[in-house]
């Protein structure tokens, strides 16, 4: 049973690491390239949009960022990191 929990924890940890990396790649691509024209950007947008959009809507409702600054990536990563830290059996 302990092996199954460790395996699941490591899998979730890996998926969260990949998600966090995809979020930051999307942010970087959006800053430096014509984002809408890039097929690579559209792939990262497809993967990360389900996580970033609810945070963006929540931040808009709370009027945080003033509409000029998109803090959704920062907030998502600020949630992901503590979740990764508390996974059982994962050594960081």
Domain contains 43: yes
What percent of the chain is modeled with pLDDT above 70?
88
Number of domains in the chain: 1
**pLDDT (0 to 100) of residue 66:** 63
The pTM (predicted TM-score) of the whole model is: 0.83
Domain contains 90: no
Domain contains 91: no
Domain contains 37: yes
Domain contains 20: yes
Q: Is 68 helix (H, G, I), strand (E, B) or coil?
A: coil
Query: In terms of Cα–Cα distance, which of 67, 77, 85 is closest to 27?
Result: 77
* Domain encompassing residue 12: 2-85
Q: Model confidence at 11, in pLDDT bands (50, 70, 90)?
A: very high
Domain contains 71: yes
Domain contains 11: yes
Q: Is 69 helix (H, G, I), strand (E, B) or coil?
A: coil
Q: How far apart are CA 23 and CA 3, in angstroms?
A: 30
Neighbours of 23 (CB within 10 A): 21
Residue 28 is classified by DSSP as: H
Query: Mean pLDDT over all residues of the chain?
Result: 86
């Amino acid at each position: 049973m302990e092996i199954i929990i460790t395996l699941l924890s490591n899998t979730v940890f890996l998926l969260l690491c990949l998600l966090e990396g995809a979020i930051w790649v999307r942010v970087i691509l959006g800053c430096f390239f014509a984002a809408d024209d890039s097929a690579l950007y559209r792939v990262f947008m497809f993967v990360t949009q389900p996580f970033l959009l609810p945070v963006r809507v929540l931040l808009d409702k709370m009027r945080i960022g003033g509409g000029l600054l998109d803090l959704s990536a920062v907030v998502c990563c600020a949630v992901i990191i503590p979740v990764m830290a508390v996974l059982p059996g994962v050594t960081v």
